Amino acid sequence: MKACILPAPAPVESNPLRLTELPVPKPHGKQVLVRVRVCGVCRTDLHVVEGELPTRKSPLVPGHQVVGTVEQCGPDAGRFQPGARVGIPWLYQTCGACEYCVSERENLCERASFTGWTEHGGYAEYALCPDEFAYALPEGFSDLHVAPLLCAGIIGFRTLRVSGIQPGGRLGMYGFGAAAHVAIQVARHWQIDVYAVTRDPRHRQLALDLGAVWAGGSDQNPPAPLDAALIFAPAGELVVAALRVLKRGGTVALGGIHMSPIPAIDYALLYHERVIRSVANNTRRDGEDFLRIAAEIPIHTEVREFGLDEANAALNALKNDAIRGAAVLSL
């Protein structure tokens, strides 16, 4: 099968992914073999490729927003039949037995594995996934447009939920890429006013097109105090910027897996019970709840299509904020 492998982490400007031939993997146990149709390109892929996340498997096939059809089932896999359309997400598998897994916090499992980081992912013609961790995908979404929902969408949704924002509230979104352009649609569905802070004029326009009441650059403050803020850009200085415009008792929720150092924070910014909290991965319940809501709204994703042989170009475009919405590799 054709696959893009990462021999070793390197800046994306060096085009480190190599298109090569690999054997088609065989499903074991409860695994399913999925013939990949498309795979979304996520900022986490960028962090993996450039080594901002520690290397966990080398060489590696990246990619964790995988949409395809079940080609073959392992001997113990019974959840899907061959031909079923499924999504393979970031959370590849958890232990199922630790204190986090048994308390519905499997996103914190210390023995979890992850698609496209600890396990080969979807920048390939075939990918494996435990059937219990694959998603049945709602009808009404094309393969291209459902792919960004599998990480950008789910993480944006979890970040939105943990922020505690309520209907009628004012919500800031810092960084307006793939996750934010989905999360804003859920927020507007919940009657929440969104204030977008992003450096790129094209992304500000996208935010306004999707219903933001205001969009500005990072050198500007929203015109009203915020009840909560979501930070999707991997820039630690935005935590301080968000705290400055946050109301008492509000939450800054950090939706990324990697962030540059957060500058020193004046305690006065945290006082009055303001909260900073991270979002680590997601649970399967997050994904199931989000996909149901996405179908109800319905969510519309803006995508830019690339071929598998253009994976390096897609990552470069993502790094340079040249993607309106989300990038997706089509196979």
Residues 125 and 202 in one domain: no
| pLDDT higher than 90, residue 213 | yes
Q: Are residues 32 and 113 in the same domain?
A: yes
Domain containing 159 equals: 153-278
Same domain for 205 and 134: no
Number of domains the chain is built from: 2
Nearest CA among 158, 205, 167, 203 for reference residue 187: 167
- Percent of the chain exceeding pLDDT 70 equals 100
For residue 194, pLDDT over 90 is answered with yes
Residues 51 and 165 in one domain: no
Q: Which residue, 278, 303, 318, sits at the end of a domain?
A: 278
Average model confidence (pLDDT) across the chain: 97
Tokens of 329: 């590799």
* 171 shares a domain with 76: no
Whether residue 61 is predicted with pLDDT greater than 90 in this model: the reply is: yes
pLDDT surpassing 90 at residue 219:
no
Q: Is the pLDDT of residue 218 over 90?
A: no
State whether 6 and 133 are in the same domain: yes
| Residue owning tokens 């009657």 | 191
Which pTM does this prediction carry? 0.95
Domain's final residue, options 234, 261, 278: 278
Question: How far is 311 from 132, CA to CA, in rounded Å?
Answer: 28
What is the pLDDT at residue 308? 98
CATH of residue 232: 3.40.50.720
- Give the span between the Cα atoms of 246 and 240, in whole angstroms: 10
**In terms of domains, do 23 and 112 share one?**
yes
CA 166 to CA 161: how far, in whole Å?
A: 9
- pLDDT tens profile 161-173: 999 999 999 999 9
CB-CB contact of 328 with 303 (8 Å):
yes
